Amino acid sequence: MPDSHQQLVQLFQRFREAVLSGDADAFERLTAKDVPPQRELFAQNSERVRAGKMDLELRRIEQEGLVATVTFELRDARGERVDEGELVASEEAEGWRIRSL
């Protein structure tokens, strides 16, 4: 089984794919089961990213025990930094899951 850092990188990669494709179902599968759906927030953010032809680039992962903050940059089509975002994840029985955006 990959270590926590690698699992968090993989979680971010799957999150990025969901954002870039606008796949709210894929996003929901990445979230912790006890967290209320964040579909509307996801949809708004995904639309903004897709409309601006932006990409997400992983910047850092800060882990404390079973909780981690994954920070990423939003980059425009020229690769220039537009904004920064983060998600909070927790380690669950089924692996790392998103708790909040």
Encode pLDDT of 27-75 as tens digits.
Answer: 999 999 999 889 999 999 999 999 999 999 999 999 999 999 999 999 9
Domain that holds residue 96: 4-100
Question: Does the pLDDT at position 2 exceed 70?
Answer: no
pTM of the model: 0.94
Any idea what the CATH number is for the domain that residue 33 is in? 3.10.450.50
pLDDT at 11 over 60: yes
Task: Write the CB contacts of 98 (distance below 8 Å, at least 6 apart in sequence).
Answer: 11, 15, 27, 30, 31, 32, 35, 87, 88, 89
pLDDT at 1 > cutoff 50:
no
Q: How many domains does the chain have?
A: 1
- What one-letter code names the amino acid at 25? D
